[in-house]
Structure formats: structure tokens, C-alpha cells
Homo-oligomer: A and B are copies of this chain.
Amino acid sequence: MISVEEAALRVAEAFSPIDSELMDLAHLAGRVVAEDILARADQPPLPISAMDGYAVRRADGNAPRRVVGAAPAGHPFNGTVGPNEAVRIFTGGVVPEGADAIVIQEDATAEGGLVLFDEKAVNPSNIRVAGLDFRKGQVLAPAGKRLTARDCALLAAGDITEAKVRRRPRVAVASIGDELSRPGESRRPGGIAASSGYGLFAMIQAWGGAPCDFGILPDTEEEIATIADADADMVVTLGGASVGDHDLVQKALGTRDFSLDFWKVAMRPGKPLIFGRLGKTPLLGMPGNPVSTLVCAILFLRPAIDAMLGVQYGTCSVPSRLKCGCTAMAARVRRPLGANDARQTYLRARLSQANGELWVDAFDVQDSSMLSTLAQADALIVRPPHAAPAAPGDHVDVIPLDGH
């Protein structure tokens, strides 16, 4: 048995960024940048007015100006502002030549063809200089960044219509077990609906991967071995990792060029985790209990997908990094927690806020077959090996579960 940290390290080292594809601006949100995206133009392209008002020459002071034209956004004034002249201008309008300040309309009084100003009106320039937001050639989104909606607006402003992003890694998922059938199907006595896979597909999609449903395989070596035929960047098996004294998955794949990296991690839930390579394809064998499956997915599969996408965590926001499972937040426990044994333990729990602080409370029952408490949870409390008991108010590390 190896530690969670060592397991995570070995998994992370086994993956590298996959190939990229050109994607249209309208479909970039959530995708990971493959090559730095550079601005194709200055923004703003020319000096523009930040306010509605009058474009003037500052040197003319508070003298009345003759209004010689107008410059609404999109309609530049085709001339020069001369001494004691002004051009009516609106937010986003190009500042005409000759002008070096905008007097806001609240400080101006129009009278006939003239405009009169308050005393201190021309002090601020109210001009957005060309390139204020960004310059042509500047990096708008670095390689490894997962693009947000805000990034998409920024790219549009930079005149970007398409960009190279990582292809969605294909993750083949096979559920193993004679007791399993699909939801809604008739089943034998004691049989149950395969459930983990549906949660896993949604997680894989949310994390930027493309789940491929390899279906339900019975507990026979011949059937399990067929997953070696999956056309995927990564194979995930659910269940079969610890049946009695043997591991069916490893046994079944023994004939299919499977090389084991590790089996069994000192954690709860999720001990019988398998990691290795099926030919060149990484394989993550997760335990079949649904809570174990989904907790292992958050801890090991998400970083694997991130690694295939080439995600650079430094380019993500703090909440995003937390969601990667690689950074935990601190919270204070509401009720006491007992001492932990040698296995790192993940407790389903609920977060709350009080007086600007984050609090967390673990569910009483933590059986790894119980999906209902996992669905109600919004965080996992991380209990390191041999952790001392925690008293109410003590700080513990939590992994927020957020949307997944």
C-alpha cells in the first residue's frame, strides 16, 4: 500500500498534454489553451472618450468653445479641434486630433453654437489611451489556462475568432460486476443499477474530457479483457479491483500487455485502487462502491485529465485550483472528529459560513456504499494518517465539491 501523495504523484507523472485542435470563439469557454493567444489589435485601437461630453484643448482653459462637430462612438470627427473649439463626444467616441481632454457634459452648458464650462472642468483628461486594455501581440490567454466566460470576452475584444485548444481527452469507462444492470432494466435478485458511471460521465465532461461509455462487463476475464480494445486516451474501470483474494481486473488484463504501477492506496474510501498501463494507455482501476469511485475520481482522475489538457494551475483562479482537488481550503469543525488510523480518510461533510469564517460538519455515517450523503455533501474533510482527534473549532483541510 502506498500513500495518497505518492499515488497522486505517480498518476500525474504518467500523463502529458495530448494534441490540440482549432476551435471557434463561440466554443472556447471551458477549453484549455494549447498555445499562447496573442491580441491581434490594440484595445482601444485609438484614444477614445471615457465619458459623454466635449473634446477640447486643455490649453484653452475655461474659455467658451465653439462646437465644430460631433464624435459619437463609431463615427469619428474628420477634422482637428482648433483653439477655442470643441467637438461633442460620447463614450467610446474617438478623441479627435488636436483635443487632449474631455469635459464631461455634467460640467458643461451648451448655448447656441457655444459651450461654457465650470471652473475645474478640464482637469481630468477622461481619455482612454490607445492600448490601455492591451497592446497588439500581448498575451491575452497563456497556454495551459482553462478559458472562462470573461476570457472569451477578452479574446473577442482582441479580434480573436479561433484558437488552438487541447482536444478533449477520451476517457473510456467500463463498469464491472455480475450484479450490475442499467437503470430501468430488469434485474436478478440482489442485483443493482450501475450508478457510479453516470456520476463519472458528468464529472469527466465538467472537467473537460470526453467520456466514452464502455458499458457493463460481467465478472469474467474474457469480458473484462475487451477494454483493451477501447480507442481512448485513458481507460477507467469501476469495480472488480478487489474480489475475494484476487483482483479480477489485473488478472484479466494480464494477457493484454498490462503493466501495473501500483495497487492499493492507504486511503478510505478507495483502498483497492489500481494504476498501470494497458499497452500505451494509462488505466485507472477504481473500486466499485460508488462513493469510493467518485472520491477517487476527484483525487486522481481529475488531475489526470488536467495533465492531458496541459492545465497550468498557476493560470487558474484560486477557486478553480481548489476544484482540481490539488489545494484544500481550511475550515473549522462544528463537531468533534475522532483520531484517524493509518489510512488517509475523506469524510463527506457540509460547509457553512458564520462571522466570515468557513465551518464544516461531517455526516455521522460514512459507509462507502451510501450515495445519498455524497449527494448532500458539499465538501470532503481530509483526515491525514494518524490525525489526532479534532475538537469543535479546530481547523481541518476540506476539498469543496462545488458543482461536481
Interface residues of A (CB under 8 A from B): 25-26, 28-30, 41, 43-46, 48, 50, 52, 72-76, 88, 90-94, 105, 128, 132-134, 140-141, 146, 148-161, 177-180, 183-184, 188-203, 205-206, 219, 242-245, 288-290, 293-294, 317-320, 327, 329-330, 350-353, 356-358, 367, 369-372, 374-375, 377-379, 395, 400-404
Contacts and interface: CB of A to CB of B under 8 A. Distances in A.
Given A72-B219, A192-B43, A151 B318 contact: no
Given A72-B178, A90-B244, A149-B203, 18 more contacts: A29-B205, A44-B190, A73-B219, A92-B192, A94-B190, A133-B371, A141-B375, A146-B403, A148-B404, A150-B199, A153-B198, A156-B197, A157-B193, A317-B351, A318-B351, A319-B400, A319-B403, A330-B357
A202 B371 contact: no
A154 B371 contact: yes
A154 B199 CA distance: 8
Contact of A192 (B44, B195, B352): B44
A177 B371 contact: no
A325 to B, nearest CB: 14
B72 A157 contact: no
Contact of A320 (B29, B30, B330, B402): B402
Protomer copies: 2
Contact of A199 (B149, B183, B371): B149
B198 A25 contact: yes
B90 A243 contact: yes
A329 B367 CA distance: 32
A18 B319 CA distance: 31
A219 B72 CA distance: 10
B193 A156 contact: yes
Contacts of A92: 177, 179, 192, 288
A133 B369 contact: yes
A120 to B, nearest CB: 17
A319 B156 CA distance: 29
A192 B40 CA distance: 12
